Amino acid sequence: MRANRGIDLAGATVLVTGASTGIGEAVARHAARAGAKVALAARRADRLEALAGELGGSAHPVDLADPAQLDGFVARVEAVAGPIDVLVNNAGLETSGLIEQADEARIAELVAVNLVAPQRLVRQVLPGMLARRRGHLVAMSSLAGVAAVPGASVYSSTKAGLSHFMACVTRDLVGTPVGTTLVEPGPVVSEMWERFSADPSLAAALGRAAKLQLLRPTTIDIVAAATVRAVADGRRHVRLPRRLTAQYALENAPRRLTDLTMVGLRPRR
């Protein structure tokens, strides 16, 4: 498939979910520095409002695990912030542990936030982007969606689903001016990684990877900066650390083969 068109972020409206902390907050900061108007979404209203005031953006408190709050969410944001040029589906929850020990309510919450909410938000924002012939979709997935390790079945399966969803959406958008970027970082120094890596069911696998020097944690700022650059440059993928390029390539091989078999196919007429 052809490369995306990049988005000039100066004056663009960028909606970032999970923007009250971590990668989402850092993406919002980098986007604002590039001249974007940021619309910030997360559950923590106080932190959102403080960050929105600092960046000159708008705050949109929402619990993405609540289907009712997702109803018409994009329309409510656009009524305040204007048409959304870039959607960054960053919000995510983590859990770890063996599947037989998993809490079923927590499973449902992870699926809702990590997979269903991004699909619904893309569904809501895409008609306007296509009508305006301008837009970009970003999904913050994970290396966990590529690598199957013990103790991460619930989290990893939601991220694998998100990555495949974005691959399909990218194919849906062939021939349109709307671009996509899938971000698949490995471990990122954060509170989430500390909780995740502390689980004993993951200890052996993570220890083996560390000995092989495969999992060298990166920083929130590096991931956020790379994400914003990818939107501006029209890059379809951000994959960190780069030393795992071969693993990413193997995981993506069936999708690339499908791309080759569908050269010239235009899903929209």
Instruction: Enumerate the active-site residues.
Output: 141, 155, 159
Q: Are 13 and 37 in contact (CB under 8 A)?
A: yes
Of 117, 95, 202, 225, residue with least CA distance to 162: 117
Strand arrangement, sheet containing 135-140: 58-61, 37-42, 13-17, 86-89, 135-140, 178-185, 237-240
Alpha-carbon 180 to chain mean position: 11
Ordered DSSP codes for 249-267:
HHHHHHHHHHHHHTTT--S
Q: How many Å apart are CA 138 and CA 89, to the nearest integer?
A: 6
Q: Are 48 and 42 in contact (CB under 8 A)?
A: yes
Q: Are 256 and 27 in contact (CB under 8 A)?
A: no
Of 141, 147, 144, residue with least CA distance to 250: 147
Q: How many Å apart are CA 177 and CA 262, to the nearest integer?
A: 19
Q: How many Å apart are CA 89 and CA 211, to the nearest integer?
A: 33
**Mapping DSSP to helix (H, G, I), strand (E, B) and coil, where does residue 65 land?**
coil
